[in-house]
Amino acid sequence: MSGADAAAAAGKAWRLAGGPSAFAALEILVRDGDRITATVAEPAGVLDWAADLSEAVSQHVSGLIERLTAPRPPFAGLPLDHPLIMGVVNVTPNSFSDGGDHVDPTAAIAHGKALSAAGAHILDIGGESTRPGAEPVPEELELARVVPVLRGLRGSDAVLSIDTRHARVMPEALKAGAAIINDITALSGDAGSLKTVAKSGAPVVLMHMQGEPRTMQDNPTYLHAPLDIYDFLSQRVEACVAAGIERSRIAVDPGIGFGKTAAHNAEVLSQLALFHGLGCALLLGPSRKSFIAHFSKGEAPKARLAGSLAAALAGVGQGVQILRVHDVAETAQALAVWRALAEAA
């Protein structure tokens, strides 16, 4: 027994979301208007601190710690005891990184099968680009793009996900073979989405986005990006639960690159563990995003592999359970080495 296993067994650390990482201290963030104060304390000390304030605060904090530490149930039938890889299959002519590469259904199906063979546990099929400045796509066109690909990949080793923000597309995609709904608007962009997902029984990914794709990068502003995003996702999770979507069916995604500056993205990536307090699986999608080029040498999207892996491993170190990536084989190799080193520590 070594590393996190030994620390947890000795009572010196608590498991983060029941996974391979553990923590021995908590950072307490207190928001008072525009002012954020931070204090670091041991988990037991945090409980004592909360109990001294009020019963309401004590219950809130104990609930947070319970959600931070509770093992996550399988998501879409996939166990979350090790990081999962979600491979990107864009059936679009204008996605920021690979637009046009797989717009033909035959090419998209072949690409999806290759990603599955390379180690993808999930394939995320999208028919509408949501890169900065992108215009909306008619639902008929989105369906025409994704349904043949979903049908062609149905029965593959990977679980299929539909990347859509439109309620009309969701049930048709499920009929064609999708098992997961991945919505960049967290089921808030279409009045029918919440009811559709609740009725379907499908697991769902709720992503944060400030604004909408055409304008989201014009002037994104936050008081405190990680906490503002956490509050939004908390509200959306509660809305889903109230609509009949069990928390176990929900994954949350802080939405790297969606209505955020490079500085905002860095802040969020440095505090990803915060989002485990929502009690849901945590998905991260930093792959090939522009913040990598901002902090490096301005590389084009397909030249951002090293930065994508750095961000992905930073997320895994904070307990991220699902990585949404373009480069599946390289991510699988990086995870294999990360896991071996973690187990040897």
The pLDDT assigned to 28 comes to 86
The pLDDT assigned to 309 comes to 98
* DSSP per-residue codes, 53-109: H-HHHHHHHHHHHHHHHSPPPPBTTB--SS-EEEEEEE--S--TTTTTTT-SHHHHH
Beta bridge mates, 15: 22
Judged against a pLDDT cut of 70, whether residue 301 lies above it is answered with yes
| Range 304-331 average pLDDT | 98
| Range 2-17 average pLDDT | 69
Judged against a pLDDT cut of 80, whether residue 260 lies above it is answered with yes
281-284 and 35-41 strand pairing: unpaired
pLDDT tens figures, 114-155: 999 999 999 999 999 998 988 899 999 999 999 999 999 999
Gap between the Cα atoms of 311 and 213, Å rounded: 23
pLDDT tens figures, 191-233: 999 999 999 999 999 999 999 999 999 999 999 999 999 999 9
| Range 94-118 average pLDDT | 84
Lowest mean pLDDT among 43-47, 67-71, 158-162, 194-198: 43-47
| Range 68-97 average pLDDT | 91
Cβ atoms of 187 and 197 closer than 8 Å: yes
Q: Could you give all domains of the chain from N- to C-terminal order, each with its CATH number?
A: 3-69 (no CATH), 84-344 (3.20.20.20)
What percentage of the chain carries pLDDT values higher than 70?
A: 94
Quickly state the pLDDT bin for 2 (edges 50, 70, 90). Answer: very low
Q: Mind telling me the catalytic residues?
A: 289, 324
Gap between the Cα atoms of 101 and 127, Å rounded: 13
Judged against a pLDDT cut of 80, whether residue 101 lies above it is answered with no
Residue 230 tokens, joined: 């956490």
Judged against a pLDDT cut of 60, whether residue 169 lies above it is answered with yes
The pLDDT assigned to 1 comes to 39
The pLDDT assigned to 44 comes to 80
Residue type, 107: A
pLDDT tens figures, 25-59: 999 888 888 899 988 888 888 888 899 989 999 99
Judged against a pLDDT cut of 90, whether residue 13 lies above it is answered with no
Average pLDDT score, the chain = 93
Gap between the Cα atoms of 178 and 154, Å rounded: 8
* pTM (2 d.p.): 0.95
Judged against a pLDDT cut of 60, whether residue 9 lies above it is answered with no
The pLDDT assigned to 12 comes to 75
Gap between the Cα atoms of 6 and 332, Å rounded: 26
State which H helix or E strand residue 195 sits in: helix 193-200
The pLDDT assigned to 100 comes to 67
> DSSP 3-state assignment of 330?
helix
